[in-house]
Every structure is written in structure tokens, then in C-alpha cells.
Amino acid sequence: MYAVNFLILAAVLFSIGVFGVIARRNAVMVLMSIELILNSVNINLIAFAMMNNSPEGHVFALYVIAVAAAEVGVGLAMVLMIYRNRRSIALDELSVMRG
Amino acid sequence: MRAILAADVNIAQNVGFYIVAAIMVFGALRVVSGRNVVHAALWLVVVLGGVAAQYVLAAAEFVAISQVMVYIGAVMVLFLFGIMLTRATIGEESDLNNKNWSIGIPVSLLLAGTLVWVIVDQYRGEVLSSPDEPMSTTAISDVFLREGLVPFLALSFVLLAAAVGAIVLARKD
């Protein structure tokens, strides 16, 4: 098993996630693309942990999973609040920073 | 760089990797290109399950179980609730993308090209030796409760703050 396999898979997933963040207009879809990015980072961490045969990479991956769960919770709460105030979650309409 | 021995190459591991990787890339493309939000969320489940399978292939069983429980179990339910609560129409939508979404294609291709070039330049030919047994939960918890104790406690406060903050933000008042 080459190390390059995991790293290139993670790079491809990262790029797809970046495309989603740039291209999507719906806020929930942007959050999904961010999940893709975070998962590609986790694949990298696990691959490096396997390369060094050490548990530290696993610990970092678990931290990332926990922070991602917190981020999704707060992010979706914000999306819900924006939807309640404006009846829309299209990101290009959110140009005014006023409630 | 050392010579690759036949014992280093695990055929089943490689075949499994490529199959799962192909499914993951296809699912990720459907997530960012589909016109139906619910279908995109379900394709995201496929991608996250594929990530868990890659963790198992990389001998990271505890992280794989955590991935399945947290992402597929909890985060996807949150996403589906978010979709349900923020949109009334069911089915395909035509305005899911920005007006100038096509800028994302060269940006992501450039990013992927740069990353792949750097990775291949640095790690070409390096073989991951398959460990005899998966990384034990004991070893992971030793790091968590020894060097990583303070970040671990800080992380639990982050989760608490996120839960309270989400309730405060989403509450009708």
C-alpha cells in the first residue's frame, strides 16, 4: 500500500469540497462541502499515523471529528435563524449584516 | 526509497482501497453537483461511510467506529433536519448554485493539481507497512489521558458551549 494512495484521495476530496464551497448557493450545501474538506483532512491524519505507526494521528482525527460535530450544530442553528429572519438561506442574498 | 517487497503489497487491501475510493469520489462529485438537496445529503452518507471503510483499511478501527457513530449517526440527522426545516419544496431545485459557480472549476482543478504534484514529489514510492494488528484503543486512550488531557477537557467544553450556543441561536424567543 503506497502512502500516495491515501494522500491523493484526500487531496481529491479536499478539492471537491472547495469546489462545493465556492459553487453552492444554499447554506446547508456549503456546510456539507465543509464536511467533505474535514473528512479529507482526517484521511490525511490517519495515513500519517499509519506511516509513523503512532497513535497521535488517531487522537488528532478524533479531535477533528468532535470539532466538526460542534461546528455543524452551531452552523445549522445559525442557518435556521437566518431562514427564520429572511425566509431564505441563499448565501448571495446575505450581503447586509443587519438583523 | 527502498525496494518494494512482495510481502509489503497486500492485494486485497489495494483492491478494496481503489473500489472504495472510486465510490467516494463519485459520491463527493454528486454531493457538490446534484440538484436535489436531500439526494446530496444521502450521497454524503455514502462518502462518509467510504471514509470509515478507508479508516478500517488503514488499521484505525476506533476512529472508524467514531466516524460511523458521529457522522453517519448524528451529523447526518442534523443535516436532514436542517434541510427539512429550511425549505418547503421537495424535489429538484434549479438555483442551488451561484451565478458564477464555474469559477470553482479552475480553482479546484488548480488546487488538486498542486496538491497531487507536491504529494507525489514528496512521497513517491513510500510504502505504508501494514501493521500486524490495528491501533489499539488502549494506545489512543493513553495519549488522550496523558499528553492530551488538557486539550481533551478543552474539547469537552467546546462541545458543551456548542450545544448551549446552538440552543440559544435556534430558540424562538
Provide CB contacts within 8 A for B155, sequence distance 6+: A63, A66, A67
Touching check for A72 and chain B: CB below 8 Å? yes
Min Cα–Cα distance to chain B from A18, Å:
6
Q: What is the mean pLDDT of chain B?
A: 87
The architecture of the domain spanning B1-92+125-132 is Up-down Bundle (1.20)
Q: Cα separation of B65 and B62, whole Å?
A: 5
Query: Rounded distance, CA B102 to CA A41, Å?
Result: 25
Q: Are A73 and B162 in contact (CB under 8 A)?
A: yes
Which pLDDT score is estimated for A95? 73
Per residue in B52-108, pLDDT (tens digit) is 999 998 888 999 999 999 999 999 999 998 888 887 566 677 777 888 888 999 999
CA distances to A25, A48, A99, B13, B26 from A89, rounded to whole Å, are 8, 38, 14, 43, 27
Domain ranges of chain A: 3-93
Task: Return the residue of A nearest to B62 by Cα.
Answer: A58
Partner residue facing A36 (CB), from B31, B41, B140: B31
Element (H, E) at A61: helix A56-86
pLDDT of residue A61: 94
Higher pLDDT, B158 or B100: B158
Sequence-distant (≥ 6) Cβ neighbours of residue A15 within 8 angstroms: B108, B109, B111, B112, B115
Residue A91's DSSP bridge partners are none
Q: Which residues of B touch A72 (CB under 8 A)?
A: 75, 78-79
In the structure grid, which three cell numbers stand for residue B29, read together? Answer: 462529485
Size of interface A-B (CB pairs under 8 A): 250
Cell of B104: 470553482
B169 vs B88, more confident: B169
Nearest Cα to Cα of residue B135 among A42, A3, A45, A49: A49
Contact B79 A31 (CB under 8 A): yes
What's the CA gap between B33 and B51, in Å, rounded?
20
Q: What number is the ipTM of this complex?
A: 0.90
Q: For residue range B121-139, what is the model confidence (pLDDT) as tens digits?
A: 998 888 877 777 788 889 9
Task: Quick: pLDDT tens for A17-36.
Answer: 999 999 988 889 999 999 99
Where do the structural domains in chain B lie, given as residue ranges?
Answer: 1-92+125-132, 136-173
State in words which class domain A3-93 has: mainly alpha
Look up the pTM and report it: 0.89
Residue B129 has φ and ψ, to the nearest 5°, of -75, 125
